[in-house]
Each structure stands twice: as structure tokens, then as C-alpha cells.
Amino acid sequence: GEDVEQSLFLSVREGDSSVINCTYTDSSSTYLYWYKQEPGAGLQLLTYIFSNMDMKQDQRLTVLLNKKDKHLSLRIADTQTGDSAIYFCAESSTGGYNKLIFGAGTRLAVHP
């Protein structure tokens, strides 16, 4: 079945780059997503990548997709304390609608 896995915790120093990794199982997923969840808030879509791309850059965010290994990563350049949150990787399911399959989330802690 469909499954998405992420490491649970990442700690970085302010100003460094953060790299959050994710693996997925459904090779037919059309889109892969990164969502951010801050304490007490809902999920905010950060970025997405189409499955026929291998890289997407959006300001401080870089998404890399290795479709052969079913590996997705999110790089945050110049990480700030405001980036501290839980980051969820998600794949869109097969079928006629956009049900998302989420990983358990990676908690990013940014320290001075």
C-alpha cells in the first residue's frame, strides 16, 4: 500500500541549511508536497513538485526528487527561528481525486 516515511526530528543552528528527507512508496503519485505546521495552527502548503521534475526552487526552499529511489527532500537555506515547525511530506494517491498520504512529520528545531 501507500506509505510515506520521514525522520522525526532535526536540529539546526540559525543561519545553517536544513535538509528534511522523505521516502514514499507509490511510484504513480503525480505530485509530492511539503506542508508546514506551526504550533496550534493548521497545515500550510509550502511547495509541491510534479513527478516528472527532479528539482524545484522557491526562494529559500529547494525540493529535490529522486523518482528512481522514491526519495524527496526539502532544503531550507539560511534557516531562521521562524522556520521551527513540523514539516510533513505528502504524496497524492492514485485514483480520480487528490487524497493525500502524509508522513509522520519532521520536527525542525532551530537554535541560536
Partner 1 sequence: GAGVSQSPSNKVTEKGKDVELRCDPISGHTALYWYRQSLGQGLEFLIYFQGNSAPDKSGLPSDRFSAERTGGSVSTLTIQRTQQEDSAVYLCASTRNHRGGDRDQETQYFGPGTRLLVL
Least distance between partner 1 and beta carbon 34 (Å): 13
3-state secondary structure of 103: coil
- Angstrom distance (rounded) from CA 30 to CA 63: 15
Least distance between partner 1 and beta carbon 110 (Å): 20
- Angstrom distance (rounded) from CA 21 to CA 30: 19
Q: Which is nearer to partner 1, 14 or 37 (CB)?
A: 37
Q: Which is nearer to partner 1, 82 or 96 (CB)?
A: 96
Residues that bind partner 1 (CB under 8 A): 4, 31, 35, 40-45, 48, 50, 88, 90, 92, 95-105
Q: Which is nearer to partner 1, 21 or 102 (CB)?
A: 102
Separation in Å, CA 98 to CA 60, 61, 109: 27, 23, 30
Q: Which residue has the cell 532551530?
A: 110
Contacts for 4 with CB less than 8 Å, ≥ 6 apart: 22, 23, 24, 25, 89, 90, 91, 101, 102, 103
Q: Which is nearer to partner 1, 18 or 106 (CB)?
A: 106
Least distance between partner 1 and beta carbon 6 (Å): 8
Least distance between partner 1 and beta carbon 61 (Å): 16
